[in-house]
Every structure is written in structure tokens, then in C-alpha cells.
Amino acid sequence: MKKSAYLPLLLAVAAFAAHAQVTYERILEAAHEPQNWLTYSGRYSGWRHSTLHQIDASNVSRLTMQWAFQVSDLGQFETTPLVVDGVLYGTGQNNRAFALDARTGRTVWRYQRNLPDKLQPCCGRVNRGFAILGDRLFMATLDAHLIALDTRTGNLLWDVTAADYRQAYTFTVAPLVVKNTVIVGVSGGEYGVRGFIDAYDAATGRRLWRFNTVPGPGEPGHETWAGDTWKVGGTPAWITGTYDPDLNLLYWPTGNPSPSNYGGERSGDNLYSNSMLALDPDTGKLKWHYQFTPHDLYDYDATQIPVLLDATWDGRPRKLLVQANRNGFLYLLDRVDGTFLSAKPFGNVTWATAIDAKGKPVLNTDLKPGPDGTRVCPAAGGLTNWYSPSYSPATQLLYVATSNECDVFSSSPQPYRAGHDFLGSIYVPEPDQRPSGALKAIDVLSGQEKWSFPFFTNPNGGALSTAGGLVFAGDSDGNFIALDATTGRDLWHVQLGAAIYSAAITFALDGKQYVVIPAGSGLFAFALPAPIASHDE
């Protein structure tokens, strides 16, 4: 190959080696760097919204593929890549990782974690992405480690053990960097782990604090667990939280108690399962909590992205936290102190008839699971799930991928065995039901649905909104779709040949806006075609 053929890659690597470091201040101001994607949700507020607008409703139908990258592994590809100054960083199945020239998709480096043979991740050998600070990338691993990689080479800088993977502790979360701290939440609630959220020093890997999501003896909330059930109480924290720098509060959602669908032995509310936690990121101290589904019997993890926004509520300005919850209700909380403000169903909900004025669910007591099976809506997978929503300040709408499905829950006691699944239930769809879904646009203050775009099957991918008046989404049939953010009209779509398990990101380079989406085992980049040069003299 001629030397000139290497020139684009050599130039990319040279620029890469000299790129500016990602400071905490840059992440704070990420909304003002729309050409990059610096943190999991694009910005600390969890909006997954970009102010880029080169691609808009008038030209999105002209999008063409610019490049594709194969991660070289099977399974669900759930990464949200980061883009920094022309370099894209992503993670893949089985803790693969890579850096690419974001213009061309050409590989700068690859990394592969050497994992133990016997791992027990609940729901796939997945990873949802990196966090970045300085010249270091941080990845949480399937064997319950946190590692730091050099951004320039992919070389391992440090590796710390958070928990024992042989006890079914694992990490699938994309970390969150706050100041000089890397924050992660554990997975493994289906195996009776004791959940936690950890913070580590970005420079050394030293653990700074741990918040146990299942309180032990002497800790507030311990009384909500009967006997010794707290020891195997689950309550994982496997989705990335959000952060308010003005309040210096970290908002992190938690998952189901264990066993997930049998509550006979773990009587009580089972704090802090299915909750929103507001933590001091410097100390890990709990400032407030709100529990969405006390004493969960339906696997209704609250591990959905909390979205932070400021708006007028009841005639006065409020700092709000919005969450479209797996249990089927859209919640509004005051994020200063956790005050419950509102909850409205955004689909078919039968497990509760309402959320009362104090924020407690009014249970449908006829639907308690038992040995004979009980039909409950939404299904165990939820009305929505972990996949990211998006909030557009232009439309003031929250875009949420939803599933239209109910399950028949059967429940019975199950003994705990370390390292084995701990569910206490079987749940299956109704045999005559065809699950389907939709991307819904919801007014965050009223809870009113503004439009709904139907999916043929249940979705597993999230949403991205842009200042171009667009919402990008993907479905389980492999369709990558651009919708009008105001009306939900289908403006463009392409078939990628495999299910989409993540949400798109967008960035800009050399005056060109790109949109990137994982599908199957590939990462696909789209942009508008270059103008045809004129040859007129």
C-alpha cells in the first residue's frame, strides 16, 4: 500500500495525540460543545438533546451512511459512544473497547478485557459505555472491576476490584464523572446481591465512598426489611444517574428487591429498592429518597434516566426531576428535597389504580401474584425500561420508548443460593398477545401524550432529540428512524439489519453533523451528502 493511503489515519492519530484533555469544566459545559458528546446522556441533566441543527426536517430524508464499524462480537450492543475532538470512544459486548477516527470510522486502538470463564450477568454480556476525564477513560466491567484506560493508546492504567463476581456481582453501567470522582452502580439484582453505588478517585482508583442501597443494621431504612432478607436484598443501581452542579446533588435510580417477584419473606417497603436517591457526590451521604414501587412484586426496576429541568409548577419556579418509570407512571419530583408533585400513567397500568397525593401507589390488591398466575400490566419488562428518553427544550416534550405488554405472574417461595438466580417467580406474556410498542411524546408537566409513533414489536432502544426539530429512535426490528419532534411524522428511516439496543448520538466535524447508532454488532454513522461541486467556468 502506498504511503499516501495511510495519510488520513496518520493525520487523525497525530491530531488525536495532541487533543485537549477533557476537564470537569468541559463536562459541566457540555451543552455548549455540541460538536462533542462528553458524557453518557450528553449533559449532566440527562436530556440526550443536541443543539446541532444542520440536519433538520427539510433535509433529513437525504441522510446517507458515511461509515460502519464492526465490534467483532455477538450479543446486545448497548454502548453510548463518547466523541471528543474528532475521536469516538465506545465499548462493546464482553468488555471490548475501541477508539475510532470519528470522520471515517477507522480504528485507532482496540482493547479486550480478559474475563473469567464463569460469569453470571443477568441480561447479556453488555456494557453501556465509557466515562472520560483528562486523558483517561473509565469502564466498569462484567467481573465487577472498574478500570482506567489511556485515551491515546487504550493501555490499562489502573484496575480495582469492587466486588466478587463469583457472588454474581457485575457491572454493565456507563460510569459518571463528577469533579475528580468516577461513580458506578452495581448489577446483579436477579442473583440476590446486596446493591451499592461506589465512587472512586479518577487518578488512583482508590474507593472514596460506598452507599449501600440495602441498608444494614443501624442504618436508616433497615427496618423495612424483615429478618435477614436485607443481606440478599438486590436493589442494584445499573443505570447512569444525572447531576445538578448548582445543588451538588447526584440523582441515581435503583432496581428491584430480591427475590424480584416474591415478597412473602421480605415484608416491608424494602428501601431503597425502586427508588430515586439524591446523594452528595463528595461523601455519598443520602440527602433524600423517593420510592416509586414499595415492596415490589413485579420486577419494576426504577433504573430509568432521571431528567432534570427547571419550570413553573403551581405558579412558582421549581427545580424538577422527571422520570418515566418502568411501573407505567410519569413522575414529577422537586429535586431540591424530593417532594412528590405528580404522577400520571403513560400507558396501560393495572397494578395500581393511582398514585395518591403523598406519592404512594394505590394498589390493586386483586393482582397480587400467586401460584396460579395473575395478569398484570405493564409486563415485567415495564412500560418503558433502561433505554434513554430525550427531552427537547424547544417542544418541552419528553420522548419515551414504550412497550404495550402485560404478563401473567406466578409467584412462590425460593431458597437463596449464593451465585444462583433468585427470582421467586415466573412471568410470561399472555399466549394470545402480540407485544408491540411506540415512541411517545409526553408533555412533562401535564403528563399528556402529544403523539405516538407505533413500533411493530417491543423497542429496546432510546431516543435523541436535536435542535433541527428531529427525534431519532430505533426499534427491535432494526429500523433507525427520524421523526418530526412536534408531530411524530416519519421523515426518514433505514433498515440496519439487526436489533437496536441503544440510543443515537450526534456530533460535528469539519462543518458536518453526524448521527451514530449501534445496531447488531455494528456502529453506523450517517450525515448529509457533500454538495455536488459545480464545473461551470
Query: Which residues are part of the catalytic machinery?
Result: 299
Task: Mention every residue, 6+ apart, whose C-beta is less than 8 A from residue 260.
Answer: 189, 190, 234, 296, 299, 422, 423, 424, 425
Calpha distance 330→332 (Å, rounded):
7
Phi, psi of 131 (to 5 degrees): -115, 160
Task: Mention every residue, 6+ apart, whose C-beta is less than 8 A from residue 316.
Answer: none
Task: Mention every residue, 6+ apart, whose C-beta is less than 8 A from residue 537.
Answer: none
Calpha distance 386→460 (Å, rounded):
8
Contact indicator for 59, 68 with CB cutoff of 8 Å: no
How many helices (H) and strands (E) the chain has is answered by 2, 38
Amino acid in position 21: Q
C-alpha cell at 370: 400467586
Cα–Cα distance list, 14 to 18, 84, 346 (Å): 7, 14, 50
Burial (CB count within 10 angstroms: exposed 0-12, middle 13-18, buried 19+), residue 512 = middle
